[in-house]
Each structure stands twice: as structure tokens, then as C-alpha cells.
Amino acid sequence: MIARIDGQRHELERASKVPHRWEPGGTLVLTLEEHAVEMMVLKLGAGRYEIWLGGERHLVEEERGRAGSQGGGSEDDTLVIAPMPAKIVRIGVKAGDDVSDGQTLVVLESMKMELGVTAPRAGRVQRIGAEVKVGAIVPAGTLLVELEPAVTT
């Protein structure tokens, strides 16, 4: 698989023999050479992931189609959902706002850690989820923000 990690192109192999487990809160623990590596993984949509490793944010994007093509996946990148059960700390946008790719939309708190949920692409906020209010506790999978459909040319 070809992926872009922090903007740089890499060829990745699936390491199915590497022991791993998912922890509550979207944490992936991999065992590499007898050392446990823990990272927070957030799916942003359409083959895009945000990975927090050692306190640093990394953006991973799966390349689809042939080189140079803009082939998109079939995944819906209009819906931004809560990746884990969490308390809503801050809402940074409202319906009608224009947002940029990677802009923080909502800040969640889970297990005493704040996590910014970011826009999977540039666009305009169509609506904020009905359950999204500062102080509310939402389950994983709750709609946080809906973006207007991407304009294709």
C-alpha cells in the first residue's frame, strides 16, 4: 500500500504477524521487537487517519488510484464522527462556516486527555450534530459535524 505520512510518500506493508490490540478510546498498541508502542488512531474518512504517537500528531493518507490521479474512495468524507466516547469541551465552528483541511472542529475529552477532532477536507459546515453541546457526553460514532458535499469538477 502506498501512503503519505506527514506529506511524504511511503510504501507500507501489512504486518499481520505483528501482535496488536485495541484499547478503549481508539488506542492501538503494537508490539515491535518486544517493545510496546502505543498510539491514538482517529479515522478522518476517505483513507485518512490522524495518529498521535509520543505526543506528536501525524497525518496518514492512503493513496488511491494511479499516480497523479485524484481518485477518491467510496467512503463518505462529509460526516465527522466522535471516534470514542467523550465529553465535548469546545465547539470551534457553526453551520455555514468555511473550514480548511485539518482545522479543529470540536475538542473532546476522554480519559483526562483532550483531543481535537479535525476536518477531513476543506469545505463548509452544513450542520452541527443534534447532541453536540459543550459539556455533553457522547458515545463513539456520534455525528459531530456534517460538511457540505465536496464539489467535483
pTM of the model: 0.55
What band does 110 get if pLDDT is binned at 50, 70 and 90?
Answer: confident
- Do 51 and 111 lie in a common domain? no
Above 50 in pLDDT, residue 74? no
- Do 89 and 116 lie in a common domain? yes
- Do 84 and 52 lie in a common domain? no
Domains held by the chain: number: 2
Would residue 54 count as lying in a domain? yes
CB burial of 83-105 (b: ≥16 within 10 Å; e: otherwise) equals bbbbebeebbbeeeeebeebeeb
Nearest to 48 by CA among 64, 59, 38: 59
Would residue 70 count as lying in a domain? no
- Do 109 and 140 lie in a common domain? yes
- Do 54 and 85 lie in a common domain? no
- Do 84 and 143 lie in a common domain? yes
Would residue 112 count as lying in a domain? yes
- What is the rounded (10 degree) CA torsion for 128, 133, 136, 139? 0
Residue range(s) defining the domain that contains residue 88? 79-147
Residues 150, 86: Cα–Cα separation, whole Å: 28
Above 60 in pLDDT, residue 23? no
Above 90 in pLDDT, residue 137? yes
Would residue 46 count as lying in a domain? yes
What band does 64 get if pLDDT is binned at 50, 70 and 90?
Answer: low
Would residue 71 count as lying in a domain? no
Q: Where are the beta strands (DSSP E) in 17-99?
A: 20-23, 27-32, 35-45, 48-53, 56-62, 79-81, 86-91, 98-99
Give the residue from 62, 92, 113 where a domain finishes.
Answer: 62
What distance lies between CA 118 and its chain's CA centroid?
7
Residues 28, 30: Cα–Cα separation, whole Å: 6
Would residue 56 count as lying in a domain? yes
Above 60 in pLDDT, residue 48? yes
- Do 28 and 84 lie in a common domain? no
Residues 85, 104: Cα–Cα separation, whole Å: 18
